[in-house]
Amino acid sequence: MIIASRKPFAEIKKSIELYENILVVGCGTCVAVCLAGGKKEVGLLASQLRMSFALDKKKIQISEETLERQCDHEFLETIREPLKEFDCLLSLACGAGVQFLAETYPGKKVFPGVNTSFIGVAEAAGLWTERCRACGDCLLAITGGICPRTLCVKGLNNGPCGGMIDGKCEVDPERPCAWVSIYERLAEEGRVNQIEIMFPPTDFRFQTKPGRVTHRAYLRRYNAGSK
Amino acid sequence: MIPQEEFRKLNRVLIWGKGQTAEETATRLTLLGYEVLKINPDEQFQLLSIEGFAGDFQVTLQQTIPSLEKEGGMEMLERIWTEKFGAVVFAPELVSEGNFSDYQVAPTEKIITLEEMQKVLIPGLDEFHQGNHSFSALPTPASAGGRRIFAALKPASYVAFLVGLTTEGNVLDMAVTLSAALEIRKRFQSQISIFCRQVKVAGEGLERLYQACRDEGVLFFKFDQEGPALLRRGDEVVLQFEDTILKRPFILTPDLLVFDSRHLLSSEVRQTALSAGIGMDKSGFLQSANVHFLPQASEREGIFIAGPGKGPMLSQLSIEEARATALSVHHFFQGLTSETMNQEVSVDKGLCTLCLTCLRFCPHQAVGFTHRVFIHPLACRRCGICASECPMDAIQIEGYSDNEVEEKLMALQERGDKPEFSQPRIVVFGCQRSAGVAWEGAESSKLKAQSNLEFIPLPCAGKLDPDHVLKALSVGADGILVLACPEENCRSVHGNTYARERIMEIRKYMEEAGVNPGRIRFEHLSSNMEWYLKEIIKQFSETLEELSNPQSAIRNPKWKNGPH
C-alpha cells in the first residue's frame, strides 16, 4: 500500500491562502488506511484552516469531501458538478491522486496536502515501514522474500558490503543488514547456495519514467506493448 | 453490525484450570445444564489462542504426549486442534517457588519453606482446605523432609517463621503459618517467633487463630521494611535485629527457620493470558486492577476469571469464587439473546476501508472482519474507541454520533448570538461514567444552566475525537475541557490514556493553526467530584479570560456580541 504523511500545516496554508473557496478532497483508500488523507484527516485539516484563517480575519470558505479513490476517473467524476463553485482544490491523496484530480479538472488550482512516502506495510497501529521501491524487476524469488534494493540503505544488488558490523548496518547500527537477513533466511530454508548468485547491475530500463503497464488481455485495445 | 445469521450461542464452556475452583465451577455449570470441558494447564496441555467472540469462541489447544514406543528415547507426540466454546473460564492455581533468594539465604537442614512445613505437618490437607484450621491427624515424620523437620522439632526447640517480609504477604501464608505455629507449640512445647510486616487475618477464623497463638505464647515481631539480618555462624543461622517497639537489639539462634514462598502464575498460564488479551495486575496475577470489572470479569465478554489465579486466597473464598463464576457464566448465557444484542454501534460498509485501526485498538477484542469490518454485538462494550480512531468516520455510536455532536456544537454557536454572554464559552467533553455523573450532580449549583457551558457526554473518554474538538473551537468555543476517569480506572482499560494522548495531538493541531494550546485542558475526574468540577471550570474560565486578547481568540463573525 502507498504510505503518505501530512505536509506541515504552514506549507499547506501558504499554498492556498490566495484563494477564497477551497475544497479539501480526501481519498478513501491507501491514504485513509495510513491515517493521512481519509475523511477524518480532511475534517481535521479543514477545521485547522478555518480557525487559522479566522484568526487572520480572512474570509475563506473551506469545504470537505472524501472520494473512494482519486486514482480512478469514475470516482473523480462524482464531484464534477459541485466542483464548479470552488476555485482551489486541496487534495489529501497520494501524488498519483493529486495529479489525476488536476488532470480531470483543468483550470482548477490543485494543491497537495500530503507527502507521498513509499510503498509499505503496517507494522503496528500507526507505524508503517517501506518494503518496495517499485523497481519493475522483482528479485524476491532469489533473495528469500527480502528486498535488498529497498531494505539495504545502499540498495546493493549483492552483499553484504564491508560496512556490515555484527549483522548491523554501518549507516544505522540499530538496523539489521538486509543482506545478513537474506543469508539467514536462505540458510534457514536450506537454500543458502542462492546467496552465491551474482546479480548484474540493476537494469534501469525497467524503471524508465513514466511507467506504463498494460494488462495483456487489453493489449489490442490500447494498441501498444507494455514497454 | 454482525449479520443475524452469523450470531451463534454455543452451550459449551471451557474451564482452563485445576484445583478446587476449577472443579467446583465445572460441577456447578454441569448441574446448570452446560457441557463443560475442564483442562489442566500444564506441560501436557497448552491453550494457544482464543479467537472469535462471546458465545462463539474458537479455542486452539495443544497436547504434547511423550510416547514410550520409540526405542532410544522418548518421542513427543503433538496434537493441535480447535474447539468451539460459548464461554471460557480461567481458573488456574498458583505455583510456589522458594523465596530464599529474596531473603538472601540458601536452603539447609535448618531452613525450609512454608510449603514443606505444611506438607509434613498437615497430612489432612483437604480438611484444612475445608476451613478446619486445627489438626485432627497427628503429624507423621513419614517422608525424608518430614524426618528432617521432626529432628529439628525436639522438645523445647526454637522455631522462627519469616512471612511477608519481602512481599506484601497474604492471608493464605498467614493462615498456614498461624496453624503450624499453634500446632508445633502445643505438641512440642517449642518456642515460636513469627517475623512479619503485617499479620493478615482477613479470612474466616484467622483472627481467632491469631489470638489462640498469642494465648499459647507464640511471639510476633513486627517490621516496617527490612526484616531481621540473617547471619551464618557455623551451621547455625543467626537472626539479628532491633525490635521496633522495645528499641533493643536481639540475637536469636533458631533450630528451624521457615520462610514463606513466592506464589506465581505458571509461565504457561501467563503466556495464555497474554495471547488471549487478558490483563494482569501489577503483582503479575490475573485480572487487570480495574474497579469497573465485576469480580469474575475480564477485558473480553464471555471470558471469566476465577480463583487463586487472581492472587493467593483461602480455600473457602476460592469455592465461593467458583460458585459466583458459575452463576456469572449462567447469567451471561441467559443474556445472550438476539433482543439483547447491541444495536447501537454501526459500521458504514460503504465508508469502511478495512484499515483495521479499530481492530488494533479495541480493548475488548470485539472487532472482526469478513469483507468489511464488523463489531460483535456481544463482545462490544460501547466505549467508542474504534469510532474516534476510524479514519473514515465509518463507525458511529448511537447517542454519540458525529451528527449528534455537531448538532450540539451548532446549538452552542446559535446561543452565542445572545447578548447576555459575559463568560468564556467552554465545551466540556466528559466520560459519562464519571464526568457525566459529576455534571448531573453539579446541576444544583446552576452549573448546567450556565449558557456559556456545553457538556458533550462521551461513552468513554476514549471516544474523544480530535475532529470534534477542532470543530468546537472553529465554531467559537473559547476553551475545551476534557474529563476522563482517574488513571488505571477506565472501564475500557485504555480509554483515558488514549484521550490523554489525543490531547497532545490536538495541542499540536491548535498550535499549527495559531490557537493557544492552553485553551484545552485535560483532567481526571471521578463521579463524586462535583466540587472539583466546579473548581476546574472556575480556574479554566480565569485562564481563558487571561488568554482572550484579540490576537489569540478565534473571532467568529457570528459571535460579535461576545465579551471581548
* Mean per-residue pLDDT, A50-69: 93
Res B23 pLDDT > 90: yes
Residue B73 φ/ψ region, left for φ over 0, alpha for ψ in the -120 to 50 degree band, beta for the rest: left
Point out the residue among A8, A34, A48 whose CB comes nearest to the CB of B513.
Answer: A48
pLDDT confidence band for B416 (50 / 70 / 90):
low
The residue behind cell 456559556 is B452
Point out the residue among B392, B513, B555 whose CB comes nearest to the CB of A40.
Answer: B392
- Identify the pLDDT of residue B394: 95
pLDDT confidence band for B87 (50 / 70 / 90):
very high
Would an 8 Å CB–CB cutoff place A28 in contact with chain B? yes
pLDDT confidence band for B5 (50 / 70 / 90):
very low
Contact B473 A49 (CB under 8 A): no
- A137-173 per-position pLDDT tens digit: 999 999 999 999 999 999 999 989 999 999 999 999 9
Amino acid at B201: V
pLDDT confidence band for B226 (50 / 70 / 90):
confident
ipTM: 0.89
Question: Dihedral of the CA atoms B374, B375, B377, B380 (nearest 10)?
Answer: 170
* Beta strand ranges found along B201-270 (DSSP E): 219-222, 229-233, 236-242, 249-252, 256-259, 262-264
pTM of the model: 0.81
CA distance B288 to B279: 5
Give residue B147's Cα distance to chain centre: 43
For residue A210, is the peptide bond before it cis, meaning its omega torsion is within 30 degrees of 0? yes
- Paired sense of beta strands B373-375 and B395-397, if any: unpaired
- Identify the pLDDT of residue B551: 43
Considering chain B, what percentage of its residues have pLDDT values greater than 70?
85
Contact B513 A28 (CB under 8 A): no
- Identify the pLDDT of residue B101: 81
CA distance B103 to B110: 14
Point out the residue among B356, B357, B512 whose CB comes nearest to the CB of A48.
Answer: B512
- Identify the pLDDT of residue A9: 97
Domain A2-118 has CATH 3.40.50.2300: yes
Q: Which residue of A has its CA nearest to B358?
A: A125
Pick from A132-136, A189-193, B93-97, B336-340: least confident? B336-340
Considering chain B, what percentage of its residues have pLDDT values greater than 90?
43
- Identify the pLDDT of residue B340: 58
- Identify the pLDDT of residue B128: 46
**B-chain residues near A92 (CB < 8 A):** none
User: H or E segment at B180?
Assistant: helix B171-188
Q: List the Cα angle B202/B208/B214 in 5-degree steps.
A: 110
Q: Domain ranges in chain A?
A: 2-118, 135-196
Point out the residue among A41, A54, A122 whose CB comes nearest to the CB of B554.
Answer: A54
* Beta strand ranges found along B40-189 (DSSP E): 45-53, 56-67, 75-85, 87-91, 95-97, 111-113, 158-163
- B427-453 per-position pLDDT tens digit: 999 999 999 999 988 766 666 566 688
Would an 8 Å CB–CB cutoff place A1 in contact with chain B? no
Contact B509 A48 (CB under 8 A): yes
Pick from A83-97, B71-85, B307-321, B506-520: least confident? B71-85
**A-chain residues near B467 (CB < 8 A):** 40, 43-44, 47
Q: List the Cα angle B335/B338/B339 in 5-degree steps.
A: 75
Beta-bridge mates of residue B431 = B458
Contact A38 B391 (CB under 8 A): yes
Would an 8 Å CB–CB cutoff place A23 in contact with chain B? no
* Mean per-residue pLDDT, B66-71: 68
- B365-387 per-position pLDDT tens digit: 999 998 889 998 888 889 999 99
Burial (CB count <10 Å: 0-12, 13-18, 19+), residue A156: middle
Yes or no: say if B379 and B364 are a contact pair by the CB < 8 Å rule.
Answer: yes
Yes or no: say if B463 and B484 are a contact pair by the CB < 8 Å rule.
Answer: no
Res B120 pLDDT > 80: no
- Identify the pLDDT of residue B338: 60
pLDDT confidence band for A221 (50 / 70 / 90):
confident
Min CA distance, A10 vs chain B (Å)? Answer: 7
- Count, residues in chain B: 564
